[in-house]
Every structure is written in structure tokens, then in C-alpha cells.
Amino acid sequence: WCLGVICVAMFISTMDMTIVNVALPDMSNDLDAGIGELQWVLDAFLISLAGLLLVGSGLADRFGRRRVFLSGLVGFAAASVLTAASQTVGEVIAARVLMGVAASCVLPPALSLLAVLFPPELRPKAVGIWSAVGGLGLALGPVVGGVLVDVAGWRWVFLVNVPFVLLAAPLGRRWLPESRRPGAPPLDVPGAALSTVALTGIVFALIEGVDAGWTSPPVLCAAVAGVAAGLAFFAIELRRTHPLFDV
């Protein structure tokens, strides 16, 4: 049953990576969004998820894996509702950032919980099931999204997450064990900030460069800031006793 709860979280997290794609045309017509803005609807989620994935793992190790996992799961549902209720494309992008932040608190603790729940001889099977469910979510995303957009509208590609969370969160609170990493190191806040700035700056330049021109001041500033933050990230991580990422 614990594996089922974790797999539900994995399913909606991965499905969200592909379900939005088919809703973009309707979203563009409804919110008058351009190509660059639609690209941010996709990438805002992925950048915040990638930038904070290691932070989510550190939070789970220090403050409890079940606590962080369930908090991220509930936060994912809340951010999904905010995205569905958005009236402008800017609001959609901001809510998608929150969805990525919440997902970064779901995926790392899920793997840690699997390691706690299952002995070594059963762990490969459990991780295999968990990964297969994630692959199923990726594959079903466009199909489910197409049906929802056709039947109910683009907002339902986000609201579809809520019933899954309403089912999984209470069961997870009841069944999942709490655990922490003994002697967990302090969080590397500078590393987290620099990695997020690096990802955001570089991706911003790549997206906006197509529309605004590669030599426009905002694009150049974002590219320089992203590359500088990336270099600073590696320099700082090499010197820290407990780096966010051991380069």
C-alpha cells in the first residue's frame, strides 16, 4: 500500500510533464499567449523542478521524508488549482513554477522512502514498479490531456491532479513511515540559488532569443548571468564541505 501511494505521486508528477503540451493551442487562444510565453508554461515547471531537486532531497533528509513528501504532494495539488484558475498567461507561468517547487519535494523523498520500506532483495523490484508507473504517466499524458481538452477545456489538465492527491495524501499520512538521514549536513543555500539562476538565465536567453533577437539587452544579460552563475556554482561547490552537488 505504501508503494501504491508513492506510485500515485510519481504518476501525476510525470504525467504533468507531457499532459500540458496538447493544451497549449487552446491556452494560447484563451489567454492570447505568444510562442515564447507558451514555452515558459512548459519550462517554468521543469526549471524549478530541476533547480530545486537536490534541495528537496536535503529537506527530506533533515526534516522527515514523509513530512516533506506529503507537503510537496498537497502543495502540488494546490498549485494545480492555482494554475487552472489563472486568468493571464503570466499567472499560469507563476503557478507552474510553484508546481515545480512542489514536485521537487515529492520525487527525492519518494526514492528515499522506497529504500526505507523495502529490504535490499525487494528494492530493485519496488524501484522497477515505481519507474514503470512514471513511464506510464509520461506516455498517458498527451492522451489524457487530449481527452480533457476536447471534453472539458484546458484548465482540466491541471485539475486532474487534485483527485489523485485527495486519495493518496490521507493514505500516505496513515501508512508511510517517517524517517530522517542520521547526521544530515546543513542545506547548501548558495548552491541551490546559483544552480537555479544558472538554469533560468540560460533557458530564458534560449527562449527569448528567438523572438527578441540574440543581441537584445535582456537576452544578453540573461545569458551572461546564467553562465556566470553556472561557473560560480562549480567554483563554490568545489570548496564547500557539504556541497549541494559533488562536482
151-174, pLDDT tens digit by residue?
Answer: 999 999 999 999 999 999 999 999
Amino acid sitting at position 200 = T
pTM above 0.75, yes or no: yes
Q: Which residue has the cell 547526521?
A: 183
Mean pLDDT for the stretch of residues 83-106? 95
Cell for 114? 522506497
Answer whether residue 28 shows pLDDT above 90. Answer: yes
**What does pLDDT average to over the chain?**
91
- For every residue of 74-100, DSSP letters joined together read HHHHHHHHHHHT-SSHHHHHHHHHHHH
Cell 492555482 sits at which residue?
82
Whether 91 has a pLDDT exceeding 90, the answer reads yes
Assign 204 a pLDDT band (cuts: 50, 70, 90).
Answer: confident
Give 239: exposed, middle or buried? Use CB within 10 Å, 0-12, 13-18, 19+: exposed
> Is the per-residue pLDDT at 135 higher than 80?
yes
Q: What is the mean pLDDT of residues 78-94?
A: 95
CB 61 within 8 A of CB 179: no
CA-based max dimension of the chain: 56
As a whole-number percent, the residues of the chain with pLDDT over 70 amount to: 100
Per-residue pLDDT, averaged over 34-55, amounts to 87
Which pLDDT value is given to residue 217? 92
The cell for 175 is 501508512
pLDDT surpasses 90 at 111: no
pLDDT at 15 over 90: yes
